[in-house]
Structure 1
C-alpha cells in the first residue's frame, strides 16, 4: 500500500505542476503585410497631397469656391493635404473612395456606404456614413466623386503572396528568438495546499521572477525552502538578421511593384535618382492623378463648358530644379517653340499678365535650305 500511495502522490504532484503556465508563448505576430502596404501608400499619398488642383477656362485659372475647397480647406475639420492623403489611403486600401458634397459645399470622404448599380441608369449611394453621422438622403453618381483603383482590393491580391512570405518570415523570426534565449527550470517540492488560491500565488511568484529577469539588468531572487530555480543561457551565436530583412524587403518590393513604385527609391539608391523619380511620377503618380482629373472634369464641369475649353488640371510636384533645366528652357524660348507663359506653366509657375510673355521669339540665326543655297539670311 505504501508503494501505491507513493505513485499516487507523484501523479498528483505532476498533475499539480501541469496547472502552471510554465511555458509562455511571448511571440507577437509581426504585421509584415500591413507595414509594407503602409510604407508604399504613405509615399504615394504624400506625393499627391502636394499637388495643386486647378480649374482653367482656356488659359485663365478660375480661383473660386471650388479652388479653395480643393487646395485649402475641403471641410471644416481637414486641410487639403490631410484630405487628399486620406482619399489616396482609402482608394488604394479599399479599392474605392466616395466623396460627397454637403449643403455648405464641404467635401467629405465617406467611411462607409452602400452602392446600388444599374445598367442604363445612374448608380446610387445610400447609407453614406461619415464618422458617426449617416446621411438620410440617397446620392446619385452625378452628385458625388467616386473613384475606383482596380477590380480587386490590393490586400486581396497580396494575400496569396503573403501566405508564402509570411510563413517563411515567421519561421525565421522564431528561429532568431530561440537564439541566446534564457531558459529556466523550477523545482518545486510537493505542496500539500493545492487550493486554487495557493496555486495562483505560486504562479504569480514565478511570473514575477521571469519578468524581473527580462526587464531588469540586475534581479535578485530570494531563496525559499522547497523552491529551486536554475537558469541556462544558450551559447553565443551569430545573428543573421539579414535573413529577416531580406524576407521583409522581398515582400515590400512586391507591394511596390504592384503599385508602380521603383524599387531603387525604396532602397534609397543614389544612382540614377532622376530617372527613378521620373518613372515613379509617370507610372505611379500620374495614373492616380488621371483618375482624379477625369472624375473632376465629369462632375465639376458641364459638358458644354468642357467642349469650350474649360478643364480641371492637376499640377503635381516638380522633381526638377529650375536652375538645372535653365539651359533647355532657354533653347526652347530662343527657338520660338514655346512662349514665356507656356514655359512658366511647365515649370510649375503661374502665368503673368505681360504681353511679351505671350509672344514667340527666335534669337537664333535659323534659315531654310533654299535660303542657305541662295546665300540669304534671316534677320
Structure 2
C-alpha cells in the first residue's frame, strides 16, 4: 500500500486530494440537541402548570364534587392519576399540535395515533385510533370524543425549521472553540524512513498508539524513530478564547428565547431567571396558561355537558389560580379585605390557600363590615 493510499484509508476519504483536518472535524463535530431540549423544557413547564389546576364542576350554578370532578381531578382512567393524565394530554397537544381523548366506559383515554377525516358540514370522524398496543375498530364521530388543536399552524414544525439555522451556527461556534484549544503539529518524514521495509508498521504504531498517548497525557515524552521529525505548533491561535465560549452560550440562549416566544412563555422564565418572578409568572399565566385552560373547558362543556345543561348553569371550569404558590402570611391583609367586603367566604379563601374548608354555617357565609353600605343609603345619610 502506498503512503498516500494509507493516508486516504486512515482518514476515511476517497478523493485524490486529502486534507488532514477533514477527519478531525468530522469526528469532533458536536450535534447538540438544543432544539429538542428547549422544546421539551417549554412543554414540560406548561404541562406541569396545567396539571396543578383544579377542574371545578358546577350543577345548576352550584359547585359540586361528583363523578365528573373525580374523573378530572383524581382518576381519569385505571392506569393514570389526574396529574399523569393532564401532563401527557398537554404534552401531546403541544408537541403534535393536536390531541384526541376518548371516553371508553367512563374512562378518559388519550389516543397515541389516529386518522381524522374532515367534512365541511357533517361531523369529522376519527379512524384507526390506537392506544398503546390496542387498536380500536370503531370509527368515532367528533361529538363522541374530545379533540383539541393547539394552533392553526404547527408550532413545533415551524420552530424546528427556525432552529436548524441556529444549530448550524452552534456547531460552527463549538467547532471554533474546540479548534482554538486543540494541539497541532507537523510530522516530517524523510526519504530514509519512507524506504524502510517496516515503514507501514512504524507509521501505524506512531499514528495509532504513540501520538494518541502523547496528546491524551498531561505530561509526556514522544520517542521518534530515525527519519521522523515532529514539530509542535503553539501560539496565541491555539489558546481557547473566552469570546468563543460566549458565542456558544449566546446561540443557546437565543434558541431558548425563540422557543419561549413560540409557546408564549416569558423567555426569562424558561431560562430560569428569578428576577421579577411574580410579574413574569402573571404574564405566563395570562398569555400561555389561561388560553389553554379556556380551550380545555370549552371542549369539555360542549361535549360532556351540552348546550342545554350549560345554559342552566352546569359546566366545567379549569381554575388556574391554583398554579401560583400562596404564602398565607404574606397575603393576610388581602385575605382580611376579601372577607370584609363580602367578596369571598372563609371556606372559599381557605381552599384558595390550599387548606381544607371548615364546612360550618358561619364559614360558608359571606361577611361584610359596617364600613360598607348601599350607595343609596349613603346618599340618604348625607342629605
For Structure 1 versus Structure 2, the TM-score category normalised by the shorter chain is: 0.7 to 0.9
C-alpha offsets along residues 196-231 of structure 1, whole Å, 9 cap, x if unaligned?
Answer: xx89x9769845556656766577877678877665
Please give the secondary structure, in 2, of the residue aligned with 1:20. Answer: helix
Q: Aligned pair 1:262/2:248, yes or no?
A: no
Separation in 2, partners of 1:51, 1:189: 75
Q: Aligned pair 1:370/2:379, yes or no?
A: yes
Offset of residue 78 of structure 1: 2.8
Offset of residue 296 of structure 1: 1.2
Please give the secondary structure, in 1, of the residue aligned with 2:294. Answer: helix
The match for 2:296 among 292, 309, 313 is 292
- Other-structure match for 1:171: 172
**Structure 2: runs of 5 or more not aligned:** 12-19
**For the structure 1 residues 146 and 190, does the alpha-carbon distance in structure 2 shift closer, same or farther, using more than 3 Å as the test?**
farther
- Normalising to structure 2: TM-score of the pair? 0.80
Contact 2:41 2:270 in 1 (8 A): no
- Other-structure match for 2:331: 325
Offset of residue 239 of structure 1: 2.5
- Other-structure match for 1:15: 5
- Other-structure match for 2:16: none
Offset of residue 126 of structure 1: 0.6
Offset of residue 124 of structure 1: 0.7
**Structure 1: runs of 5 or more not aligned:** 1-8, 375-379
Q: Aligned pair 1:86/2:88, yes or no?
A: yes
Q: Aligned pair 1:275/2:293, yes or no?
A: no
Residue correspondence of structure 1 range 239-254 to structure 2 within 5 A: 239-240=242-243, 241-254=245-258
**For the structure 1 residues 192 and 141, does the alpha-carbon distance in structure 2 shift closer, same or farther, using more than 3 Å as the test?**
farther
- Other-structure match for 1:360: 366
Separation in 1, partners of 2:221, 2:132: 52
Which deviates more, 32-41 or 111-120? 32-41
- Other-structure match for 2:97: 95
Contact 2:347 2:359 in 1 (8 A): no
Offset of residue 99 of structure 1: 1.4
The match for 1:63 among 50, 55, 66 is 66
Which deviates more, 351-360 or 227-236? 227-236
C-alpha offsets along residues 176-204 of structure 1, whole Å, 9 cap, x if unaligned?
Answer: 1111112355657357699xxx89x9769
Offset of residue 304 of structure 1: 2.5
Q: Aligned pair 1:107/2:108, yes or no?
A: yes
- Other-structure match for 2:37: 35
Please give the secondary structure, in 1, of the residue aligned with 2:9. Answer: coil
**For the structure 1 residues 310 and 243, does the alpha-carbon distance in structure 2 shift closer, same or farther, using more than 3 Å as the test?**
same
Residue correspondence of structure 1 range 129-168 to structure 2 within 5 A: 129-168=130-169
Count of residue pairs the alignment pairs up:
358
Separation in 2, partners of 1:158, 1:184: 42
Please give the secondary structure, in 1, of the residue aligned with 2:99. Answer: strand
Offset of residue 91 of structure 1: 0.9
Residue correspondence of structure 1 range 297-316 to structure 2 within 5 A: 297-316=301-320
- Other-structure match for 1:54: 56
**For the structure 1 residues 225 and 298, does the alpha-carbon distance in structure 2 shift closer, same or farther, using more than 3 Å as the test?**
farther
Separation in 1, partners of 2:144, 2:204: 63
Please give the secondary structure, in 2, of the residue aligned with 1:100. Answer: strand
Please give the secondary structure, in 2, of the residue aligned with 1:18. Answer: helix
- Other-structure match for 1:6: none
**For the structure 1 residues 232 and 111, does the alpha-carbon distance in structure 2 shift closer, same or farther, using more than 3 Å as the test?**
farther
Contact 1:145 1:299 in 2 (8 A): yes
- Other-structure match for 1:3: none
Offset of residue 113 of structure 1: 0.8
Separation in 2, partners of 1:246, 1:85: 31
Please give the secondary structure, in 2, of the residue aligned with 1:314. Answer: strand
C-alpha offsets along residues 270-308 of structure 1, whole Å, 9 cap, x if unaligned?
Answer: 443212111111111111111111111122223332222
Please give the secondary structure, in 2, of the residue aligned with 1:108. Answer: strand
